[in-house]
Every structure is written in structure tokens, then in C-alpha cells.
Chain A
């Protein structure tokens, strides 16, 4: 797709990326399949987490070894944090462990929907931005929350499509489109709830700058093939957006020229 590739690269916090797919590293059948899926996806950013280390355990060392071979920028998350305080502390631990000041900020407000706690999210974003973190906040399509996050120091917003791992796709397409129109200059990444490649393509066609997903690839029947599918879908959606999509209309408009239609009888024409 070299002659038909995207016009410009993805810019996040001063770094540029060719791929507009950010991929999670969890829930794969095996570490090997995860590594293969990441490679096939073309993703240049992968998300990771921090979890309790068992005494004398080596889980952390094994995983570190695995992700170091992926050749991707690592984006730690604060998954599972239910308060701004927990998220801030987790981000600080992540910065030391992963040697990056990039953080995917999650502050969860509800255990069933994993809905962002937008109040805690803004508070944590403000504090972390002051400490020099480059915050990528997992948020909703709420415009006022988006404004507060940007004012707090975030340069990127990551609204959900649907609940994490739900595979529903764009549950509020209109809301996401409104958000895109309201923040024309900010990099916007749809994060959470994606299930099918068509969902990712739809997000890109609206004009979103990238898509972050995990479960849709990891829990697919063939995660490696699905990673390839999402790569193609995101490229296609971006290309379509840059090519300029037609506006939908209610009534038909013939694509074949009307002039010269055979058997055309003006007296019978409606």
C-alpha cells in the first residue's frame, strides 16, 4: 500500500508513528501468539500493566524479556485503579519500571461496566501532567470531561467505543463524531469495546487518529489473522477518511447517466 498509504503519520506527544493501531498484550493464548500478533499488526505501541509480584516470583522478569523483543514503544496502564491516588501511585511505579513517562491513565468508576470515573481521571491527569507524565486518558465521549482533561495537561484523549472487552463496537457513534468535531486539533484515539475490524474502520472513517484494542485480537479464533485484519481495517478506514467520504442521502441518485436511457418514455415518466 506504499503509493496509497496515509498522507501523514500519527503524532503523539512529539513522537511520530506510521501505525494507527495500538495493541494490548493481555489475554492471548500464549506469549508466542501475542508476539506474533503484535508483529503482524504493525503496531508500534503496545500497552502493558503492573501487577503484584509474588515472593521470589519471576513473572515480571519473564514478561519484560518478552516485550523487549517486540520492538515497540511500551505504554503502561493504570488498569484496575479505582481512585486518583491509586492511579497516580501506579503511574509513578510504572515510570520507574518501564523507564517511560507515557501512561495510559485509567480510573475506574464502576466494576460492571469499567466505566471511567471521570472525576478521579481529571484529578489524576492534572497531578501526573504536573509531574511530567505524558497522559493518554481512557475517558468517555463526554465533551466537558474532554475539555477538563485537555486543560489538565493531556494532549491526547482516548474515548471508549463501548465497555472494555464487550466487543460491541461504536455504541455511541454520534457522540464520538461530535467529539471529533469538537476537538479538531487533538489526537483522538478510540479505546475499548472494539470487536470487529469494521468497528475500527468506522472509528477511522469518522476521523479518529488511531484505535487501541486488545480483546478483539487476543480472543479471536486466530489472533494472528485477526491482527492482520485489524491492521488492514485501520489502514482502509484512514485512507477512506483522507480520500473524503461522500455524505449520506435519503433518496437515490442514479450512478448511471440518465441521458440516453433506452425505452425511456417521457409521457410515462413519473
Chain B
């Protein structure tokens, strides 16, 4: 994941798990791959809405998008 210090001219400013970031990925699937999580046990939401994994490739990213990527954890 590129930090803001590695801004690129065609980078898209987004929010991933609450942190600002910039990406060259234009779909959720590509972003997840960029994050090294393509093989991970994860689920994702875009702008507050769940995106099933089968739709990650079709989910286009836009500037200002908020992405949540979650995985299983302990819970009560």
C-alpha cells in the first residue's frame, strides 16, 4: 500500500480501514491484490456497503472512496 509520502500523479486518494491512502488500483479486486490480501480470508465493504467477493472485479474505485477490509477475529 502506498503511503501518502509515495504519492503518484495518477494516484486515487482513498480511505482504507480508516487510514488515508493513495492507489493506482481502479477496482476493489486490484486494490485487494495491491494490499497483498488476494489470498487472504477477508471480506470487504465500499462506502458502507458490503461487496461480495464475486463482485470485487466489477467494483470501481473513485476518489474519496471508503474501503473496509475485515477478517475473522476473537469476539464475545
Asked if B49 contacts A89 (CB within 8 A), the reply is: yes
Asked if A93 contacts B76 (CB within 8 A), the reply is: no
> In residues 1-29 of chain A, which contact B (Cβ within 8 Å)?
24-28
Interface residues contributed by chain B, number (CB under 8 Å): 27
Closest to A47 in B: B75
Please measure, in the bound complex, the distance between the C-alpha atom of A52 and the C-alpha atom of B37, giving whole angstroms. Answer: 12
**Is B5's CB within 8 Å of the partner chain A?**
no
**Looking at the complex, which of A53-61, A176-184, A254-262 is the stretch in contact with chain B?**
A53-61
**From A25, A55, A93, contact of B75 by CB (8 A):** A25
Q: Which residues of A contact B52 (CB under 8 A)?
A: 96
Known: A85-B48, A97-B43. A63 touches B36 (CB 8 A): no
Please measure, in the bound complex, the distance between the C-alpha atom of A70 and the C-alpha atom of B53, giving whole angstroms. Answer: 26
Asked if A26 contacts B74 (CB within 8 A), the reply is: yes
Closest to B42 in A: A53
Q: Which residues of A contact B68 (CB under 8 A)?
A: 52, 89
Interface residues contributed by chain A, number (CB under 8 Å): 41
**Is B62's CB within 8 Å of the partner chain A?**
no
**From A26, A89, A96, contact of B76 by CB (8 A):** A26
Asked if B74 contacts A49 (CB within 8 A), the reply is: yes
**Is A143's CB within 8 Å of the partner chain B?**
no
Asked if A50 contacts B50 (CB within 8 A), the reply is: no
Apart from the given pairs A96-B52, A96-B53, 18 other A-B contacts in the complex at a CB distance below 8 Å? A25-B75, A50-B72, A50-B75, A52-B18, A52-B68, A53-B69, A54-B17, A55-B1, A55-B35, A57-B40, A60-B41, A61-B40, A85-B48, A89-B50, A93-B50, A97-B41, A164-B76, A215-B76
| Residue contacts A-B, CB under 8 angstroms, 7 given | A25-B74, A49-B73, A56-B36, A90-B70, A97-B71, A165-B76, A215-B76
* 3 closest cross-chain pairs (CB), A and B: A60-B71, A49-B75, A214-B76
